[in-house]
A and B are shown apart, each in its own frame.
Chain A
Amino acid sequence: MSQFSRNSLPLQGSKPAPLVPVPLSFDRNWLQDLESRLDKGGPWGDWRLSRLAVQGEETGLITSFDELQCMKHLSGLSPLPHQLDTAHKVLFQMSGRAILADEVGLGKTIEAGLVLKEYLVRGLVSKVLILVPASLVLQWVRELNAKFGISAVAQKKTYSWGSDIVVASMDTAKRDPHKEVLLENEYDMLIIDEAHKLKNKKSTNYLFVQQLRKKYCLLLTATPVQNNLSELFNLITLLKPGQLGNQGDFATNFVVDKRQPKNEIQLRGELSKVMIRNRRGEGPVNFTKRKVRNIPLTLSTEEKVLYDGVTAFVKDQYQESGGNLSSMLSLVTLQREVCSSRDAVFITLVNLIKKLPEDSPKRDRMMGLLQTIRTVKTNTKAEKTLELILEMKEKVIVFTEYRATQEYLLQFFRDHGLMCVSYSGGMNRGKKDWMMDLFRGRAQVMIATEAGGEGINLQFCHHMINFDLPWNPMRVEQRIGRVHRLGQENDVIIYNLSTQGTIEEHILHLLHEKINMFEMVIGGLDVILERFEKTESLEKSLYKIVLESRTDEELRSGLDHIGESISELTEDIQKESEAAT
C-alpha cells in the first residue's frame, strides 16, 4: 500500500480550476498553526467550544449585500423612519460617502451612528476617526457607547489615536504633533460633525481633511449653505471631487448670483446623490408645540429713574459723537443692561468710567448714574421670575445676556432656597458637562448666558425663561433649540420677560409679532436672515434705529419697517420653495 510515494494521489478530473472573476485570496495562517501544533503534539482545542465559535459565526453572517443588519444588534434604540431611510440611502445608494444635512434637531448623530454600526457589523470598517467641536466630544462618545454599543474613546493623549474608534476635536487633530499621526493612518471611516466649518477650501481644516486617507466619509451639518453656493461646492468636492463638475462648470451650470442657484431641479438631482436633507416641516416627525407667554412688567420707580437716566445719557452721547455708530455700541448695551439687572449696568458703567481721562466732563454724569444705581434696591424681573419658577415646580432654564445678571440671579435664587446651577461660554468642557449633569439630576434651575451654539441638549426640560432677549434672532432660535428638539415630549413653554416703556418692549414686539419667530418651527429663519443681512446685520440695523430715533414714535416706525421687510422676505421664500417642489 504505502509504496506509493506520498502526495501521489491523482486529482480527480484534472481539469484546471475555473476562475473566479474577482481577486480571490486564501488566508493560510491557520495551516501554519495546525502544522506547528502537529509537530508539538498540541495543545488542541475543545470540540464544544469550536462548535460554539461556528454557531457564533453563523448567526453573525452577513447573508445579503443590501439589507440593513444593524438593527438586530441594537436594543433600546428605536430610530425614527427618516433616520432609517437615511442610513439605508447612505449605505446602498451613496456607497458610504454622504453629507447628512438634516435641519437642527432631527438626529443627524443617530443617522451617522446607524451607518457606522452597520459598517462595523459588516466588518467593512474597523478604524474610525470622528472629528467634532471640542464641546461635543464627550457627548459623541457617550451616545456611541450607550445607544450603539460602539466602543468609541475620547482622544485625550497622543496614544489615544491608537484606539480603533476615536472621537477628537477638529482643532486638536489638525495641529502637530497629532496631524502627523493622523495623516499616516488610513481610516475606514471618517465622520465630521459641524462640517460647515469646512466651507472655506483655503482653511487649514479643509486642507487637513482633504489629506486624510479615508474610505467611507460622512459630513454632518445643519447648514450646508451659509452665505454662498460655493461653500456647498467646496463641501461636496471634499467628499467627492468632481461630483458637481469643476468650479467653472458649477458656476456656469448652477449659479446665477452667489446666493441664487439656477437650474434648480437639476442641481437638486445632483445634490441628492451626495446629500440628504430632512426638514422639520415634512415627514412624520412631530415636534411638540411652542407656547409663548409674554410677561409685561412695570419697572419700579427707582428702576424707571435709572432707565430714563441711562437712556438720556446714551442719546446725548450719540448726538455729541456725531452719529459714529461703532463707538456707541457699548452705550446701547448699557441701555439694554438696565432692563436686565442693576449689577450688569454697574459693571459696564464702572468699566467705561475707568477708560475715561481724569478730567472728562462725562465723568460726573456717569458718577451720577452710579449714584442712581445705588437707589435701586429690588429687581422687578428677578422677583417675577422667582414667582414663575415657584409656580411651575419643574425644571427650567433661564437665559440672560449678561454675566453680572447671571451671578445676581444665582445668588438671588439660592437665597430663596432654589437649587440652581450656572452655565456660560467661558467654562471649560469638563465644567460644562458637570453643570449639565447637575441640572439633569438635582438642580431645578439652570441659568445660562449662552445657548452654547452646539451641543447642549436639554430635552428633559420644557420651560425656558428669556430673562432678557438677544437682538439677533438666530441666537433666540438657538436658545429655544436647546429644549425644543427631537426627544422633547412636552410642549415647550417660553416665557419672555419685558419691561414696559423700554426698548425691550419694542424688540420683543418685533421678534414676536413681526417675525413671529417663537412659533416658527419650519426652520427657515436662517434663510430669511441671510437675505435680509445682505447689506447689514439685523443687529446693527437695530442699534442704528435705537440710537437715531428721537422719539418713541420714530423708534416704533423704524422697527416696524424692519419687521415688514422681513415678512416680505418670508413670503418670497415661501413662494420660491413652493415653486421648486
Chain B
Amino acid sequence: MTLSPQQVRTQVMNYLEVTECTIIEASPLHVTVKLSPRADRMLTDRPYYWGFVERTGVEPETLSFTFVFDPEKYDSLASGASTQAPNRGTQPGAPSTDPQDSILARYFGVVPTQPWIGPGMIRREDVIYGSKRLLQIWSAARDEGKCLYLFENPGSRQRTTVFSAAYEPWLGVCYKVEMTCDLKREELHFVGISLVTGAIIDDFGTKLTQVELIPRLPENVHIQPLELTVSAGTDRLEAHLTEQLAALDYTWAEEARARLQLELSIIDVYYEELLKEPDEEKRLGIDEQYNRRRKETTWQYEPQVAVSAVTYGLFHLRST
C-alpha cells in the first residue's frame, strides 16, 4: 500500500493537531509549523537541548519546519509565484541545501540530520510516502498512543436520565503477526475481549471507530465488575488468535523448510569430506566453521511466526 500526498498530509496534520503544534501556514501542498514542545521532543532528536531546558528551566525554543507533501507541484507553484525560490533537497527528508556541500558531509559522507537551531530558521522537508519523517511521526504516535484507557461518550442525554448506564470493560489489542522465513509477510488483527462476558470480537478496531471515545469516566455511568483479569483476557485472546492463525495456509513454511533442508544437505556434503582431516587442530577449526554455517542457514530460512502488539488498552463501552 502506498499513500497519496493528500493521505500523507492528513496523517501529518492529524499528528500536528493532536500534539498542539502551531500551524503558521497551510495549503493542500504544504504546511509550515512551529512544533509544540511535546512534538519537538519526539521529532527533532535533541535530547541534550531538552535536558538543558529541564535543568535550567528556560523557556524552550522549538523548531519550525515547512513540510511539503507534493514537492513537484509545490515547487512549480513557488517558482511561478516568485516567492523565495526554495532549492529542493535531493532526498525526502533532506535539508534544503545540497548535503554534499558542507565540510561535515565531506568527512562523514552525509551530514547527520541535525536541525538548524535559531529563531526564524525554517527548514524545508519533503514529506512523502517512504520518507523518514513520516515513519518517525508514526512511531512517535505509537510511543504516545499505544496504551489506552478510554470510555464511550454516552452523549449529553445520559446525564439527565435517572438510571446509570452499565459500561462493559473490553481488553482491545491490535496484534501484528509477522510470518518470517527468508522472506516475510505480515497481518494486523485488532481483537477485543469483554472482560465481563468473555465474548471476543474480531474486528474490534472497526467497532471502536463507530463510537466516540473520551479519556474521562462520563457522569451517571457505572462500570461492570470484571469477571476476567486482564492477563486471563490476554490468554484467551492469544488462544483465539492462535486458532485463527492455525487455519491459514502454511505452504510458505513448508517451502522454506524444503529450502532449508536442501541448503543444509549441501553444507553437510561439503563438510563431510573436509571433516576427515586427520590433523586434530585443523579439524576443530573446520568443525567450528561447519557449525557456524549451519546456524547461519537455519537463522536465514527457519520459518516462524511472531506476534507483538501495536496498541492495546481497556475500552469501556456501553453494554448492549
- Quick check: B183 and A92 within 8 Å, CB to CB? yes
Kindly state whether residue B1 has any CB partner on chain A within 8 Å: yes
Report yes or no: A52 in contact with B190, Cβ–Cβ below 8 A: no
Is the beta-carbon distance between A145 and B109 smaller than 8 angstroms?
yes
Contact A27 B269 (CB under 8 A): no
Q: Does B2 contact A (CB under 8 A)?
A: yes
Q: In residues 8-39 of chain A, which contact B (Cβ within 8 Å)?
A: 8-9, 11-12, 17-28, 30-31, 33-35, 37-38
Interface size class of A (residues with CB under 8 A): 35 or more
Closest 5 CB pairs of A and B: A141-B109, A242-B270, A49-B145, A56-B138, A73-B130
User: Which of chain B's residues have a CB closer than 8 A to the CB of A23?
Assistant: 303-305
Stretch at the interface among A366-374, A382-390, A429-437, A520-528: A429-437
- B317 CB to nearest chain A CB (Å): 13
| A91–B179 alpha-carbon span in the complex (Å) | 16
Residue A61 contacts which of B134, B183, B187, B301 (CB distance < 8 angstroms)? B187
Complex-state Cα separation, A139 to B225, whole angstroms: 63
Question: What would 30 A/B residue contacts be, using CB atoms closer than 8 Å?
Answer: A17-B246, A18-B242, A22-B250, A22-B303, A30-B173, A30-B309, A34-B230, A34-B313, A35-B231, A38-B230, A44-B147, A44-B215, A45-B146, A49-B141, A52-B138, A54-B174, A55-B138, A58-B188, A59-B129, A61-B187, A62-B185, A72-B130, A91-B183, A124-B180, A124-B184, A141-B108, A146-B91, A241-B293, A246-B270, A248-B273
Q: How many residues of B contact A (CB 8 A)?
A: 111
Interchain CA distance A123-B183 in the complex, whole Å? 10
Determine the chain A residues whose CB is within 8 A of the CB of B139 once the complex forms: 53, 56
Q: A22-B250, A146-B99, A241-B267 are in contact. Are A49 and B144 (CB under 8 A)?
A: yes
Q: Which of A423-467 touch B at CB < 8 Å?
A: 430, 433-434, 437
Q: How far is the CA of A124 from the CA of B181 in the complex (A)?
A: 9
State the main secondary structure of chain A at its contact with B. Answer: mixed
Chain B contacts to A: CB under 8 angstroms: 1-3, 11, 14-15, 18-19, 90-94, 99-101, 105-110, 128-132, 134-135, 137-139, 141-142, 144-150, 173-174, 176, 178-180, 182-188, 190, 197-198, 205, 209, 213, 215, 225-232, 234, 236, 238-239, 242-243, 245-247, 250, 252-253, 259, 263, 266-271, 273-274, 289, 292-293, 295-296, 299-301, 303-314
Are A145 and B304 in contact (CB-based, < 8 A)? no
A440: nearest residue on chain B (CB-CB)? B100
Whether B184 lies near A62 (C-beta < 8 A) is: yes
User: Which residues of chain A are within 8 angstroms of B144 by Cβ–Cβ distance?
Assistant: 45-46, 49
A57 CB-CB contact with B under 8 Å = yes
Q: For residue B227, which residues in chain A have a CB less than 8 angstroms away from its CB?
A: 4, 6-9
Which residues of B are found within 8 Å of A24, using beta-carbon distances? 242, 245, 304-307
Q: Is the Cβ of B131 less than 8 Å from the Cβ of A2?
A: no
B36 smallest CB distance to A (angstroms)? 13
B-chain residues with CB within 8 Å of residue A9 when the two chains form the complex: 197-198, 227-228
Residue of B nearest to A10 (CB): B198
**A149–B132 touching, CB < 8 Å:** yes
Q: A46-B145, A72-B129, A246-B274 are contacts. A53–B310 as well, Cβ < 8 Å?
A: yes
